[in-house]
Amino acid sequence: MKLHIKNVKKNFSSFRVLNGVDIIVEKGSFHAVLGVSGSGKSTLLKIITGLESIEGGQILLDGKDVTHVPTETRGIAYVFQSPLLFPHLTVKENIRFGMEVKKYDKKTIEERVEELLKLLRIEDLGDRMPSEISGGQQQRVSIARALATEPSLILMDEPFSGLDPALRIEMGNLIKDLQRLLDLTIVFVTHDINESLRLSNYISLLDQGEILQSGLTHEVYYKPQNRKSASIMGDGNWIKGIIKANRFSSSFGDVSAIGFPTGEAEMFLRPHQVIIGESRAAFKVKISGISRLGKETQLTVAYGEEFMKIDTFSNENYQINQEISIMFTDSNCHIVPCG
């Protein structure tokens, strides 16, 4: 189902949490909403399901205004940060809860419960109480419970943040597979950059109650519109230069910049887009900082007055002040005119 969040405004007493948020979630997409803690992500999801009221704007589902439709009839599933299983019901009863409320017939319910138990790999836990299963298993049950009524839109609020890193990745993959398999539309809220990159195909960056940028995840990641949206998704390098006659020139030479206006501009590169190696197009820089993060090494290099960050998986033993050659391909360069 296509979801259109239109100019949504939300206050908590006098404090403005969302200030005109616009997001379009395409049918069948895995749409991440990335933002720091307190940026209003959970509030946004609660607004989409109708658990919070709004001071302005609209929520449209397939073009239909549902802003004033109560939560229970909107039919949007919601997976919370913690599993929130009903403690007085068994795993199976939790999963069938939504179907019973919506009066599905008995046979359909039985079949679907079995199917979901299998899909989420919790076949053996059906008759246990929530207190008798692990946190990861509980979260799987809560996902099964949300999927049971085949909702046309599923909201997930950092559903894996209580899990250990390995399980978190496993669960992420499971959800991603389910999303493709069942052609689900998912809005997934997180403050974990890697998780949003790994799972989503669309992303919206939420910052201080406003959407900084929305689009295909890799586009937003590699082609940020400004410094702020670049930094929300991680480290990056901004190289100052000038556009003249469809060329962008900087201390790293020229790259093509067809269609850009003449004047000052900046070029953006993620640290791993900078390649270390010799070639005719390479530039000499000096290492000024090294931090090793397991298999990855982050280098800070100096060129002229400025610094650049480079991520490399090379196991070479770099030293401070060592001179290395770096380069990057034209197609990687994202150019943003200044002002």
Partner 1 sequence: MKRILIVIGLSVVLSAMLLTILLSMFSYYRYPQILPSEWTLHYWMYFLSVNDLMAEAVLNSIKIGVFTAVLSTTVGFMTGRVVVSHFKSNRNMMMIVYSLPLFVPATALFIGVHMMMIKFSLNNNFWGIVISHAIIAIPYSTNIAVSFYEGISIDMENVAKTLGCGPILLFKKILLPLLMPGILLSSAICFLLSFSEYFAAFLVGGGKLVTLSTLYYPYINNGDYGNSAVLSIVFVVVNLSVFAIAEYGTRKLTRISNYLFE
Site for ligand ATP in 178-207 (CB under 6 A): 191
Which listed option, Mg ion, ligand ATP, partner 1, none, makes contact with residue 80 (CB within 5 to 8 Å by class)? partner 1
Tell which one of 17, 54, 76, 133 touches partner 1 (CB under 8 A).
Answer: 76
Which listed option, Mg ion, partner 1, ligand ATP, none, makes contact with residue 38 (CB within 5 to 8 Å by class)? ligand ATP
Site for Mg ion in 31-60 (CB under 5 A): 42
Which listed option, Mg ion, ligand ATP, partner 1, none, makes contact with residue 10 (CB within 5 to 8 Å by class)? none
> How far is 243 from 121, CA to CA, in rounded Å?
56
> How far is 32 from 51, CA to CA, in rounded Å?
20
For residue 137, how far is the Cα from the chain centroid? 23
| Contact call for residue 149 and partner 1 (CB under 8 A) | yes
Element of type H or E holding 187: strand 186-190
> How far is 144 from 75, CA to CA, in rounded Å?
15
Nearest 5°: the CA angle 110, 115, 120 is 130
Which listed option, partner 1, Mg ion, ligand ATP, none, makes contact with residue 72 (CB within 5 to 8 Å by class)? partner 1
Which DSSP symbol is given to 202?
E
Site for partner 1 in 108-147 (CB under 8 A): 129, 142, 145-146
Nearest 5°: the CA angle 88, 91, 97 is 75
208 and 39 in contact (C-beta within 8 Å)? yes
Site for ligand ATP in 26-55 (CB under 6 A): 35, 37-43
| Contact call for residue 72 and partner 1 (CB under 8 A) | yes
> How far is 155 from 1, CA to CA, in rounded Å?
12
* Helix, strand or coil, per DSSP, at residue 111: helix
* Helix, strand or coil, per DSSP, at residue 149: coil
Angle subtended by helix axes 135-147 and 91-101, to nearest 10 = 20
Question: CB of residue 41 vs ligand ATP: minimum separation in angstroms?
Answer: 3
DSSP 306-333: EEEEEEE-------TT-EEEEE--GGG-
Which listed option, partner 1, Mg ion, ligand ATP, none, makes contact with residue 40 (CB within 5 to 8 Å by class)? ligand ATP
Which listed option, ligand ATP, Mg ion, partner 1, none, makes contact with residue 78 (CB within 5 to 8 Å by class)? partner 1
Identity of the residue, 42 or 196, whose beta carbon is nearer to Mg ion in the bound complex: 42
> How far is 301 from 326, CA to CA, in rounded Å?
10
| Contact call for residue 84 and partner 1 (CB under 8 A) | yes
| Contact call for residue 104 and partner 1 (CB under 8 A) | no
**Close Cβ partners of 117 (under 8 Å, ≥ 6 residues apart):** 91, 92, 95, 123, 125, 126, 144
> How far is 70 from 239, CA to CA, in rounded Å?
50
Question: CB of residue 190 vs partner 1: minimum separation in angstroms?
Answer: 18
> How far is 224 from 315, CA to CA, in rounded Å?
30
Which listed option, ligand ATP, Mg ion, partner 1, none, makes contact with residue 280 (CB within 5 to 8 Å by class)? none
| Contact call for residue 130 and ligand ATP (CB under 6 A) | no
Question: CB of residue 57 vs partner 1: minimum separation in angstroms?
Answer: 20
> Rule CB under 5 A: which residues touch Mg ion?
42
> Rule CB under 6 A: which residues touch ligand ATP?
12, 17, 35, 37-43, 191
> Rule CB under 8 A: which residues touch partner 1?
46, 49, 51, 70-78, 80, 82, 84, 86-88, 97-98, 101-102, 129, 142, 145-146, 149
